[in-house]
Chain A
Amino acid sequence: MAAFDAVIVGAGHNALVCALYLAKAGRRILVLERSAEIGGALRSAELTLPGFVHDLYATNVGQFAVSPAYRDFAPEFAAAGLEFLSNPYPYATALDGGRAIRVYKDQALTEREIAAVSADDAAAWRELVGLFKRTAPQFLPLFFTPMPSAAALLRAAGLLGASPRSAWALRRIVKDTPRAFVDRRFAADETKALLMPWAYHMDFGPDVPGGATFAFVAGLSGHLRGLSVAKGGAGAITSALRRIALSLGAQIRTSSEVKSIRIERGRAAGVTLAGGETIDADCIVASVTPKLLFGGLVADEHLPPAFRRRIGAYRYGPATFVVHLALDRPLEWRAAADLAQFNYVHLCGGTDDIARTYADSLAGRLPERPVLVVSQTTPVDPSRAPPGKHVARIHVRTVPSVIAGDAAGAIDARSWKDAAEPYAERLLDLVAAQAPNLRSAILARRIVAPPEIELDNPNLVGGDCVSGSHHLDQNFARRPLRGWSRYATPIRGLYMTGAATWPGGGVHGGSGYLLAQTLLRRS
């Protein structure tokens, strides 16, 4: 008998969620993490000054608060001290000319804000909110349903049965491009600029089909539920997961790099670590992105050639660039004093600007005015900084992984090592145009460019922070590949989890949860 029922390679949150369910069912679990820190893309650290806690990657973690894992382990998470915080000011878009348009949790306030630019848009917004409220209870659970499956089909049928009109509208949203989605409903550029960035948080340029789903779901749930952060840092979720996993008897080893997955007679038999140590297990769960798993941890010779070819074509999205800021005081936005309270302020220009940024990112050019997500976390969670001080983050969607040029023609550097500083200056200029006190408020900053992201976490290939494009050909029943969307692989006993598997990127533990259900049902 092998020493472990399951060895889990990688300690991202999906891996840990999977470990929780398996350990609770009495399975002997070992989690092996290559890095010195667990958490993958769900970590926080004092990156700038002492006492200033920054979320490295994921920060808006509200999905986790409504996930099955959180529901099923609610008492344990509470005992671990995990808390989610939100405020009445979810998101806004800062517009050219020092104006802004804001989405409050309060619906009447939001409608009034939109009515100020267009009365028709306010009505259309109300209609969209209605559609979300009517359909969300049916379709949100789809994200925690295996894909494809009879259960998913039943849910879709239930949606159709409950309201054919709503179902039809949803069906169109699933296929729509972000541009078509907003143009179909809204007249004013301002209103459109509220939802377009949400599709771009993934890698949906305005004209990519399928992006409307993200604009609709993230935009509307952000409006109605608010954006949530984890008290003390996104890493608090990771710490809680670790604590619960250990208390259930799972073992976690850090700085333990798996070099290969041992396959005997077509079946995964164990892992070999970088130092040569071998560990046997009845089943291996790889929370490793396809590029590193297949042809990396699993040698090509074990894979059917057709599968190897298809998985080799798995596509990563453009990169992310982040500037973490420690601030002496809140930003003073020209548009409105209360903008400093908003969890996310998007700076994105209009639809055509986003389209240009997308084309530039794909072509290797540094975008002239990229989509900026300015996260202001301290108004929601003051524990992230010493009293009276603040943290903020400029999260750039998107930049190229490899620089071929600069769309603005100003930066000559072709390596991120040399381009990171001047590019950060460009971003600060863009924000300072809206919040003039930005530079004088900065106590310290930390720039994280794509190569550093990939170095920190090799699963974020090229600095793609969601581990693979979420375009329609790689989502739903096609994540990561059609025929392999239910966590199994061509190797018996080897399973995949993580953001590259359904339901994809984001902090919800959906993939870890669904895989655990599958494994527990099988044995």
Chain B
Amino acid sequence: MFTRVEGLKRVLDLFDGVPVMVTVGACWVEWDALRPSDGNFALKTLGSGSSVGLGVALALPKRKVVILDGDGAVLMNMNGVATVGQMQPKNLIHIVFDNKVYEASGCIRTATSFNADLVAVAKGLGIKSAHRVATPEAFESQVRAAFASDGPHFIVAETKLSEGDSTFAYARLEETDNKHRFMRFLEKVEGRKLREDAIDVKTSLR
């Protein structure tokens, strides 16, 4: 077992220009501190990672797209994983940090702390490259392999509880702002308009 931060620090170099969908909670706080970027999209609705990530991956087929997710979130919206299995986006990497609890809401145990096996779930839903890792070294090599090969990839990382503060107060008024910045990030890295009706926006206002 290792911490999310220990794992993510080892692979930070891979993330240049990579859009990352991040489940809110401590995971977002840690990731946003590790890689502050307009390319981080906060998934405020628990479990929407697989669905939003799939959409972004299908829209940008030549670019690796990463979801940083939690076990509780995946369990909340497993049908999104099924659709990933159906669509087979080659560029999607779904990383699930499995700490076996809903950490942000008082550490209530999730199904993975009982009998659920998310790797088996992903495989059963048609994602061939589904792996479990329990050490930072294994995490690093699996993520590097995922970046280097076609997916979809599904990596379940057995992680510890956060060491610091796990609460997260989302700045609600900035939600839309996050979306607009994320869109602009995508348009910038892609060097093209993503929506026909998109307003001609400047690259940076602040």
* A, B co-complexed: yes
Contact B176 A45 (CB under 8 A): yes
Contact A275 B180 (CB under 8 A): no
Q: Which residue of A lies closest to B204 (CB)?
A: A232
Contact A36 B180 (CB under 8 A): no
The B-contacting residues of A in range 37-91, CB under 8 angstroms, are 37, 43-51, 53, 56
Contact A51 B174 (CB under 8 A): no
The answer to the question of B110 belonging to the interface, with a C-beta cut-off of 8 Å to chain A, is no
Known A46-B177, A275-B164; contact A255-B169, beta-carbon cutoff 8 A: yes
CB distance from B30 to the nearest CB of A (A): 10
The answer to the question of A233 belonging to the interface, with a C-beta cut-off of 8 Å to chain B, is yes
CB distance from B61 to the nearest CB of A (A): 23
The A-contacting residues of B in range 114-141, CB under 8 angstroms, are none
Interface residues in B, total, Cβ within 8 A:
28
The answer to the question of A254 belonging to the interface, with a C-beta cut-off of 8 Å to chain B, is yes
Q: Which residue of A lies closest to B165 (CB)?
A: A275
Which residues from B are CB-within-8-Å of A386? 199-202
Contact B168 A255 (CB under 8 A): yes
CB distance from A503 to the nearest CB of B (A): 26
Contact B177 A47 (CB under 8 A): yes
The answer to the question of B162 belonging to the interface, with a C-beta cut-off of 8 Å to chain A, is yes
The answer to the question of B79 belonging to the interface, with a C-beta cut-off of 8 Å to chain A, is no
The answer to the question of A338 belonging to the interface, with a C-beta cut-off of 8 Å to chain B, is no
Interchain CA distance A254-B172 in the complex, whole Å: 14
The answer to the question of B29 belonging to the interface, with a C-beta cut-off of 8 Å to chain A, is yes
Which residues from B are CB-within-8-Å of A233? 205-206
Contact B199 A51 (CB under 8 A): yes
CB distance from A302 to the nearest CB of B (A): 23
Q: Which residue of A lies closest to B171 (CB)?
A: A37
CB distance from B106 to the nearest CB of A (A): 11
Which residues from B are CB-within-8-Å of A45? 173-174, 176-177
Q: Which residue of B lies closest to A48 (CB)?
A: B176
Interchain CA distance A448-B173 in the complex, whole Å: 9
Q: Which residue of A lies closest to B181 (CB)?
A: A46
Which residues from B are CB-within-8-Å of A276? 165
Which residues from A are CB-within-8-Å of B173? 43, 45, 47, 56, 448, 452, 456
Which residues from B are CB-within-8-Å of A53? 205-206
Interchain CA distance A51-B28 in the complex, whole Å: 24
Which residues from B are CB-within-8-Å of A349? none
Contact A35 B164 (CB under 8 A): no
The contact string, 1 if C-beta is below 8 Å from chain A, for chain B 81-104, is: 000000000000000000000000
Interchain CA distance A114-B184 in the complex, whole Å: 47
Instruction: Pick the contact of B167: A46, A56, A232, A257 (CB < 8 A).
Output: A257
Which residues from B are CB-within-8-Å of A236? 206
Which residues from B are CB-within-8-Å of A448? 173
Q: Which residue of A lies closest to B177 (CB)?
A: A45
Contact B206 A44 (CB under 8 A): yes
Known A49-B199, A386-B199; contact A35-B184, beta-carbon cutoff 8 A: no
The answer to the question of B15 belonging to the interface, with a C-beta cut-off of 8 Å to chain A, is no
Q: How large is the interface on A (under 10, 10 to 19, 20 to 34, 35 or more residues)?
A: 35 or more
The answer to the question of A235 belonging to the interface, with a C-beta cut-off of 8 Å to chain B, is yes
The B-contacting residues of A in range 213-234, CB under 8 angstroms, are 232-233
The answer to the question of B58 belonging to the interface, with a C-beta cut-off of 8 Å to chain A, is no
Contact B180 A49 (CB under 8 A): yes
Instruction: Pick the contact of B169: A34, A239, A384, A389 (CB < 8 A).
Output: A34
Interchain CA distance A235-B174 in the complex, whole Å: 12
The answer to the question of A273 belonging to the interface, with a C-beta cut-off of 8 Å to chain B, is yes
Which residues from A are CB-within-8-Å of B170? 36
Which residues from A are CB-within-8-Å of B29? 36, 254-255
The B-contacting residues of A in range 437-495, CB under 8 angstroms, are 446, 448, 452, 455-456
Which residues from A are CB-within-8-Å of B184? 50
The answer to the question of A274 belonging to the interface, with a C-beta cut-off of 8 Å to chain B, is yes
Among A43, A50, A446, which residue has the most Cβ atoms of chain B within 10 A?
A50
Interchain CA distance A176-B183 in the complex, whole Å: 52
Contact A389 B205 (CB under 8 A): no
Contact B183 A235 (CB under 8 A): no
The answer to the question of B59 belonging to the interface, with a C-beta cut-off of 8 Å to chain A, is no
Which residues from A are CB-within-8-Å of B202? 51, 383, 386
Contact B169 A36 (CB under 8 A): yes
Which residues from B are CB-within-8-Å of A301? none
The answer to the question of B51 belonging to the interface, with a C-beta cut-off of 8 Å to chain A, is no
Which residues from B are CB-within-8-Å of A235? 206
The A-contacting residues of B in range 19-61, CB under 8 angstroms, are 28-29, 32
The answer to the question of A118 belonging to the interface, with a C-beta cut-off of 8 Å to chain B, is no
The contact string, 1 if C-beta is below 8 Å from chain B, for chain A 410-442, is: 000000000000000000000000000000000
Known A47-B173, A452-B172; contact A239-B206, beta-carbon cutoff 8 A: yes
Contact A51 B180 (CB under 8 A): yes
CB distance from A366 to the nearest CB of B (A): 22
Contact B199 A50 (CB under 8 A): yes
Which residues from A are CB-within-8-Å of B180? 46, 49-51
The answer to the question of A409 belonging to the interface, with a C-beta cut-off of 8 Å to chain B, is no
The answer to the question of B198 belonging to the interface, with a C-beta cut-off of 8 Å to chain A, is yes
Which residues from A are CB-within-8-Å of B200? 51, 386-387
The answer to the question of B3 belonging to the interface, with a C-beta cut-off of 8 Å to chain A, is no
Contact A51 B165 (CB under 8 A): no
The B-contacting residues of A in range 178-230, CB under 8 angstroms, are none
Q: Which residue of A lies closest to B202 (CB)?
A: A51
The answer to the question of A135 belonging to the interface, with a C-beta cut-off of 8 Å to chain B, is no
B interface residues, Cβ below 8 angstroms from A: 28-29, 32, 162, 164-174, 176-177, 180-181, 183-184, 198-202, 205-206
* 13 interchain pairs, CB-CB under 8 A: A35-B169, A45-B177, A46-B176, A47-B176, A51-B199, A51-B205, A255-B29, A273-B167, A384-B205, A386-B199, A389-B199, A456-B172, A456-B173
A interface residues, Cβ below 8 angstroms from B: 34-37, 43-51, 53, 56, 232-233, 235-236, 239, 254-257, 273-277, 383-384, 386-387, 389, 446, 448, 452, 455-456
- 7 smallest CB-CB distances across A and B, nearest first, come from A275-B165, A45-B177, A51-B201, A50-B180, A37-B171, A274-B167, A46-B180
Q: 16 additional contacts, CB 8 Å, given A43-B174, A53-B205, A255-B169?
A: A34-B169, A37-B174, A45-B177, A50-B183, A51-B180, A51-B201, A51-B205, A53-B206, A232-B206, A255-B167, A255-B168, A275-B167, A386-B199, A389-B199, A446-B176, A456-B171
